[in-house]
Structure 1
Amino acid sequence: MTAVIIKINDIVGRRSYNCDILFRVIDFQKIDGKNYAILYGEAFRLVADAPYEDLVIIDALQQAKFSEEYRTLEEQSLRLFTQDVNLLREKQEYEATGGYAVESSYFQIPGKVLHLDGDPVYLKKCMAVYEKIGVPVLGIHCNEKEMPMKIGELIDYYRPEILVITGHDAYSKAKGKLSDLNAYRHSKHFVMAVREARRKVPHLDQLVIFAGACQSHFESLIHAGANFASSPARVNIHALDPVYIVAKISFTPFMERINVWEVLRNTLTGEKGLGGIDTKGVLRTGMPYRPIKDE
């Protein structure tokens, strides 16, 4: 029987994990004389390496099955989140018009998001959801190791109210204990990037930061200055979880504090994968709204 050759960008599963997660092959390396593949999760922000012989190519039919399961979860979360946003808008309209006592047009300025992502595929997915919801965003693909060097200049240029620092991460038991930051693939780079951002904007309510990916060192990210981070229980987080968190912040009025549980309840991962601290919203409402018409 001819051996199956696995190539870059093939979709694979790991035999040793019963193919529970779909991965995309992004590179091959030799480790201690053995061939390994470097893998990025297709729906989860997880990076892993696996021996070549542990990999199984996932055919189109199996991929479609996984994709349908993921899509159902994503649509459910998006539907619940959209309901939340609509309620926030109705509340704002009621307050802006004095309880509908006057007819007055108004406008809203949601918080601007700067989203740095270590994975261009995930960034594209996130940008599509931001656009669907109506969040103003600048998305930048940036290697996790380069984020600390680039974050300051990007903040100066874009002046965001919300910053997302994400990509791929993973904890390795072989490298140390759960409390050891060096036992994580990219957590230290996320931490350094958060610290650089806080040097630019120290106040937690002037720049709201989400940082982390799958299995990231939650406590270090919060102590570095993130408002929200992953992953308290060191579990995998879904690719779109950061979007749901920052979109909620973007559409919450700046005079209101965000209940952490209300932010987490409609994410795909929940409190095991995501957490945070009390934070103010960033939405601002103004009036009147009278668009100028060209004659």
Structure 2
Amino acid sequence: MPAFNIGDIVVRKSYGGDVYFKITDIVKVNCEEDRVILKGLDHRLIADAPPSDLKLPDLEDVNSDKLIYSKRVNKNVKRILSDRRSMGIKDKRGFRDDETFGRSGRILHIDADEEYLNTCIKTYKQLNLEVTPKLIAEASQPEIILDLLNEVKPDILVLTGHDGMLKGQNNYTSLDSYRSSRFFVEAVKVARSYDPSLDDLVIFAGACQSFYEAIIEAGANYASSPHRVLIHALDPVFICEKVAYTGINKVLTIQEAISNTITGIKGIGGLETRGKYRQGFPKSLYS
């Protein structure tokens, strides 16, 4: 068995190597065997496994997998921007071919993973979205959310990070079966005490395999994961974009809201939600 180090990319043999992970920590459990803490490369999943269950994958396979996701994300971004132009939707800077301008919804994105947050920030910029990013661990999100809402006053709130079903747990309707769902539920409840209107404050919450029903019941507009599947790191961004650039007079269907996500209907679900985009007139001469 090879020796593993923090930062190594591995797969779990017991799961057929279905997900690529990065080793984030190695914890001494007893004198016989360590426990390795794992984070999904592209999916918002955290897990742990003994070294005996891990193996190093072929790097060509890892790169090929990342390329597939990268191509799909880039294709999504190009299509979204093209669709906006074809529909005459202005971004926050506006276009210069007429006297109208536009304002999309402001986003507060709270994430427990720095790498994923940085990836999301890059995509928000590509999509011309106004976002305030905050790096906060899942367990601390319920404690800090009220202060951040008062500070930022967003139109759209994202609460995400890592989650997953705990090993040996098969009760899908108990919060005790999940790593982080309890914190997402608590944070959503606090956010809804700040603003109870699902139209005024739009909330996305959850990560891989999260307790979807409990998060929705707590007051989220959108959540993961209806089928307890893995979700892609950028799924929250694509949900935000759809809401932020849909007009305030239109109510998004669930199918429309998730149409640009990587995971789709098995990973993301929610409620009909009104858009946040407002058109303005006239445009300033100095813009």
Residue aligning to 2:153: 159
Residues 47-97 of structure 1 deviation map (CA, whole Å, 9 limit, x = unaligned)? 11111121123454333222112212222333443344334x42679xxxx
User: What's 2:14 paired with?
Assistant: 16
- Which of 118, 133, 139 is the matching residue for 2:133? 139
CA contact (8 A) 1:114 1:163 kept: yes
Deviation at residue 238 of structure 1 after TM alignment: 0.6
Task: Output aligned runs, 1:198-277, within 5 Å.
Answer: 198-277=192-271
Percent identity, aligned pairs only, is 38
2:34 corresponds in structure 1 to 35
1:81-136 Cα deviation digits (max 9, x unpaired) = 3344334x42679xxxxxxxxx8511111100000111111111111110001000
The 2-side partners of 1:182 and 1:84 are apart by: 43
1:215-272 Cα shifts (integer Å, max 9, x gaps): 0000100010100000001000011111001111000111111111011122111111
Distance in 1 between residues matched to 2:197 and 2:126, nearest whole Å: 30
Alignment CA distance shift 1:291-1:72 (3 Å): same
Q: Is the 1:114–1:160 Cα contact (8 Å) retained in structure 2?
A: yes
Distance, in Å, in 2 between the alignment partners of 1:66 and 1:92 is: 34
**Higher alpha-carbon deviation: 183-192 or 265-274:** 265-274
Find the aligned partners of 2:85 and 2:36 in 1 and give their Cα distance: 44
How far residue 24 of structure 1 moved from its aligned partner, in angstroms, is 1.0
Equivalent of 1:169, from 163, 172, 175? 163
TM-score, length-normalised on structure 2? 0.92
Correspondence for 2:120:
126
* Equivalent-residue separation in structure 2 for 1:117 and 1:92 (angstroms): 28
One-letter amino acid of the counterpart of residue 209, structure 1: I
- Which SS does the other structure have where 1:174 is aligned? coil
In structure 1, distance between residues paired with 2:165 and 2:115: 22
Paired with 1:286 and 1:57, the residues of 2 have a C-alpha distance of 54
The worse-fitting range, judged by mean Cα deviation, of 3-12 and 214-223 is: 3-12
Tell me which residue corresponds to 1:97.
none
Unaligned runs of 5+ residues in structure 2 are 92-96
Hey, what's the Cα distance between the residues in 2 that align with 1:11 and 1:108?
Answer: 43
Secondary structure (helix, strand or coil) at the match of 1:175 reads coil
Residue in 1 that maps onto 2:50: 51
Amino acid across the alignment from 1:19: G
CA distance in 2, matches of 1:77, 1:31: 43
Instruction: Flag the structure with larger Rg.
Output: 1
17-26 or 159-168: bigger deviation: 17-26
Say how many residue pairs are matched.
281
Post-superposition Cα deviations, 1:134-190, rounded to whole Å, max 9, x if no partner, equal: 000011111111100111111111110000001110013623501111100000000
Structure 1 residue 78 corresponds to structure 2 residue 77: yes
Matched residue type, 2:26? F
